[in-house]
Chain A
Amino acid sequence: MAERAAALNALTDQEVVLLARGGQERAYRELVRRYERPIFSLLYRMVRDRELAEDLSQETFVKALNAIESYRPEYKFSSWLFKIANNAAIDHLRRRELDTLSLEGSPHAVTPDAVEATALQIGDRGETPLDIVEAKELGGEIERAIAQLRPEYRACILLRHVDGRAYEEIAEMLDLPLGTVKTYIHRARNELRRLLAHLKE
């Protein structure tokens, strides 16, 4: 059993996908094991709700694995999976209009009035004393700062600097022009720099 698991470990994503398509359940499980943490982390950071992130992660894997035959091997499996996850998160955030909007207004706003009209305050997350203690730690501060970014910026910056994806890959995953991805990442870094300025001292 352990030998078979080790053998699967050595295979590339494309090879594991082929085994899954051949009807091997252990190949499906291997794909879940490989990506459950990165996908859950991305979604958790996108929606800031553990239970919801878990539901969305489950939806992502169920959707991807049930459609494994439609996956095109010329693309990276991880890109395909992250694309599904990101779409799930963005759809959810759009539906619920969570407290995930930037203080700076819509990135598409061109006039000062439009910027002001689309600028929203960060809502109250009902923080517990434990949340506040956690937020005092560096990791918590960074997570909180990420949570304040616009969802589009957040997805881009997480994929780029947490998951280490290339700009082109992010553009493909999010169905955005390359220039827009670069702009979002640049703006997200600027915003994070401002939000985390007090940590530099």
Chain B
Amino acid sequence: MERSVLQHLTPDEIDLVLEGNYPEVLRTHVNACPDCGSLLAGERLVVQWLSALPLHVPAAGFEDRVMARVQVVTPRSALATLRHRALATPTSRALAAGAVLSVLGSLTASIVWSLGHREVLASLGMTALRSVAELGWVVVHGLATTLVEQPWYGSARALVDSPARLAFVAGGLTTAWAAGMLLMRRLIAIPAGSVAHEHI
């Protein structure tokens, strides 16, 4: 519907002008109508005054007072946030559903394949077990050979070749171990009394 230049400004039209849109038909009317001209000038002034109002500032330490009452979220709750974000928009929901479906799909496919190829799986398992056993034997054999070839091996063996000597060496080692443990406990014990500067 065409707007007549004789019609006074409506509230919506005043808003339009205050926002900076001033169609010719409104301008023509305002120029010819003292009531609308005065109304618009008054509204402009009010808006100008309001937009020039300064911001008030809270008392110093406001931020700290707020933070003293705020519980910062923990990484555990971040997991909940991740779930919340995944469900926030249709796109994120679709992506999350796609990821879950692909994981579930691949799991199902592998189970189905395994059930249908048990003999292949058993043969693969046996081969892997045999390889691990062979590797273990090679390592143990290598270590034993290295040990026997050491120059001190003969005297070390002579040290424990009778039950009396073996008991003597075992006793000495046990005593050394117990003394070491006692020393360590004393070193790492938490002091029971007050600590200097603890209130600083």
Contact = CB atoms under 8 A, between A and B. Distances in A.
Interface residues of A, number: 48
A139 B12 contact: no
Interface string B59-83: 1001101110111111101101100
Interface in A10-69: 20-25, 28-29, 32-33, 36-38, 40-41, 44-45, 53-54, 57-58, 61-62, 65-66, 68-69
Contact of A21 (B59, B71, B73): B73
B43 interface: yes
B11 interface: yes
Contacts of A57: 58, 62
A61 B89 contact: no
Interface stretch (A111-119, A120-128, A192-200): A192-200
B144 interface: no
Contacts of A29: 63, 67
A91 to B, nearest CB: 19
A160 to B, nearest CB: 8
Contacts of A54: 58-59, 62
A142 to B, nearest CB: 5
Contacts of B88: 72-74
Interface string B9-20: 001101100000
Interface stretch (B46-54, B149-157, B169-177): B46-54
A177 B74 CA distance: 38
Nearest to B74: A23
A162 B52 CA distance: 8
Given A66-B70, A192-B46, A164 B54 contact: no
A176 interface: no
B38 to A, nearest CB: 10
Contacts of A62: 66, 69-70
B105 interface: no
Interface residues of B, number: 39
B42 interface: yes
Contacts of B89: 74
Contacts of A36: 58, 62-63
Contact of B42 (A41, A158, A200): A200
A25 B72 contact: yes
B54 to A, nearest CB: 7
Contact of A189 (B43, B54, B73): B43
B84 interface: yes
A65 B66 contact: yes
A20 B67 CA distance: 12
A62 B66 CA distance: 6
A91 B166 CA distance: 87
A161 interface: yes
Interface string B123-165: 0000000000000000000000000000000000000000000
B56 A193 contact: no
B187 interface: no
Given A66-B69, A74-B88, 4 more contacts: A21-B73, A36-B63, A40-B62, A44-B56
22 contacts: A21-B77, A21-B78, A28-B67, A28-B70, A32-B62, A32-B66, A40-B56, A53-B56, A54-B59, A57-B62, A61-B66, A66-B70, A68-B73, A69-B81, A142-B49, A142-B50, A143-B53, A162-B51, A162-B53, A164-B51, A183-B11, A193-B43
- A-B complex: 9 closest residue pairs judged by Cβ atoms: A161-B50, A37-B55, A186-B11, A41-B56, A21-B81, A40-B58, A61-B66, A193-B42, A65-B70
